[in-house]
Structure 1
């Protein structure tokens, strides 16, 4: 079931009546509370569709709920490797780029520094994102003063609906209530600098200035059985830049929840972001959006139209820091 918030009311999409219907009164119009009731809530909302006194709503807008926290995973190895190659191609010195090409030509392998480290293969790794900077659909992304090169990342957002702690992967799956589309906006030039020189790596300021979430949430019963078969794409100013799918993740979503809940609690309203679908960021294409560009991310989460999140990039501040090597990072 597709859900969202319309002027403070929880609405659900009625595919037969082809309209949004207000369904949220039993849950005080709180979307995470609806998700916590699982399939029972879905059945109750479906009964509202056939009620002659039902109230029609409008398409959801704004954030469907305020995220309680944000954990960003990286479930696709190919994105990690190709993203690292993209970093070198966009920002590395000519000597570093020649070294990488030479190693691959001679050995037929990816240079070890461009592969994820050992823990990545043992357990689903994540970093804590900034849940307070998550923007709604249609919002403008303010270009941060410290960056010259911004990038999008198409990700599947997992909404936790029930508390979990020290759980099994199966129990982790049971804690999932719904799914959203996420855009993990990233300042690539700062990420390059912090990856090489930063104390905590490249996921600090480069990642915390902005993210974005779709206005529509799709319940877990529709997505979990086929979460490895979802298709998505990225459009910039209406032009398709990338298409991909959620096939072949390194770790399952249940394992991701279980790892997040190891020795600590995760609860309703917390979001786990899957990591970038392979090929669905500018870094992998060596192609970056510019100020004023409209970036639309789509995922086929449920029946009918895809769930989307769209943002427009604001103007680059005049005092934006001129990072090293940005002349090779311009969009091709």
Structure 2
């Protein structure tokens, strides 16, 4: 199943799931177990896809690929390294990533995103697995110069538009062996596979739930592979993950005063 959140031609927000080249509408969010499909469809090319969920938080995992840790000169962590992006960082497919005026280097980071489907706290790995609704593509955009300057990651990771996710939430796939790539202006910059995770998804979600309650629609980013690098205004960046699809965004200057 491919669940989507979108605006229709009348600019109204709706929910549904993709069937071929059409969206089968749902009478509420796909995160609501009471929602049901209705007898209505829209052509996929007549809707504008939004970020598929509106999370209360985005919990990110750093250094979950050994080669990425090496390229940043970090030793492998004993426990998963986690940090948070605010909901204001979340944008959807085809939306613009704003390059902050106070940064001189903004990097891409292709990631597999986990979408939580149930409330969990202090979950076992089995309970964590059962609480996952599905998966989507993500870009953990990072102001690398500010991250390195601060010594902790909140400012460099948290700018508005710094968490593109989408284009949809895919259920019923095995996330443990998916090809993941990032293209910058059509050139491959990252290419790896989730089989190289240091920590598995059930372990990560369980670990995070020992710290904080996770709610339906919350997002867990699972780490980026090696090959991170800078983007510039005018660039197009695409995250492509096997069995999910593509997340495409463009970079623009911050023109606000």
Q: Same fold (TM over 0.5)?
A: yes
- Any idea what SS the aligned residue of 2:112 has? strand
Q: Does 1:206 align with 2:156?
A: yes
Match 2:43 to one of 33, 53, 57: 57
The question of whether the paired residues in 2 share the 8 Å contact of 1:181 and 1:299 is answered with yes
Q: State the match for 1:115 in structure 2.
A: 75
Residues 241 and 252 (structure 1), Cα distance of their counterparts in 2 relative to 1, 3 Å cut: closer
CA contact (8 A) 1:73 1:126 kept: yes
Counterpart CA distance in 1 for 2:223 and 2:126 is 21
Alpha-carbon distance, 1:263 to partner: 5.2
Q: Which has the larger radius of gyration?
A: 1
In structure 1, how many angstroms separate the alpha carbons of the residues matched to 2:133 and 2:183? Answer: 28
1:186 matched to which residue of 2?
142
Offset of 1:144 from its aligned partner? Answer: 0.8
Contact 2:83 2:154 (8 Å CA) reproduced: no
- CA deviation digits over 1:108-145, x for unaligned, max 9? xxxxxx314xxx22x32211222221121111122112
Q: Number of matched residues? A: 247
- Higher relative strand content: 2
How far does the alpha carbon of each residue in 1:273-305 deviate from its partner, in whole angstroms, 9 at most, with x for none? 1011x22421xxxxx222211111111134xxx
Hey, what's the Cα distance between the residues in 1 that align with 2:60 and 2:210?
16
Contact 2:125–2:202 (CA under 8 A) maintained in structure 1: yes
- 1:32 corresponds in structure 2 to 31
* Length-normalised TM-score, structure 2: 0.87
* Mean Cα deviation higher: 139-148 or 151-160: 139-148
Distance 1:24 1:280, change over 3 A: farther
- 1:218 equivalenced with 2:160 (yes/no): no
Q: Whole-Å Cα distance in 2 between the matches of residues 299 and 194 of structure 1? A: 31
Q: TM-score, normalised by structure 1?
A: 0.68
Secondary structure class of the residue paired with 1:250: coil
Change (3 A) 1:318 1:24: closer
The 3-state SS of whatever aligns with 1:275 is coil
2 CA distance for matches of 1:13 and 1:289? Answer: 31
1:67, 1:132 within 8 Å by CA — same for their partners in 2? no
| 1:12-31 equivalent positions in 2, closer than 5 A | 12-14=17-19, 18-25=20-27, 28=28, 30-31=29-30
CA–CA separation in structure 1 for the residues paired with 2:2 and 2:91 = 20
Q: Deviations over 1:151-196 (max 9, x none)?
A: 100011111101111111110111100111111111111122122x
Q: Secondary structure at the match of 2:222?
A: strand
User: Which residue of 2 is the match for residue 72 of structure 1?
Assistant: 60
Find the counterpart in structure 2 of residue 274 from structure 1.
222
* C-alpha distance 12-280 of structure 1, shift in aligned 2 (>3 A): farther
Contact kept? 1:298, 1:309, Cα under 8 Å: yes
- Structure (1 or 2) with the greater helix fraction: 1
1:76-95 equivalence runs, <5 A: 76-84=65-73
1:54 Cα deviation from its structure 2 partner: 5.0
Is the contact made by 2:59 and 2:85 (CA closer than 8 Å) also made in structure 1?
yes
| Change in CA separation of 1:10 and 1:261 when aligned onto 2, cut-off 3 Å | same
Which runs of 5 or more residues in structure 1 are unaligned?
85-113, 196-200, 283-287, 320-332
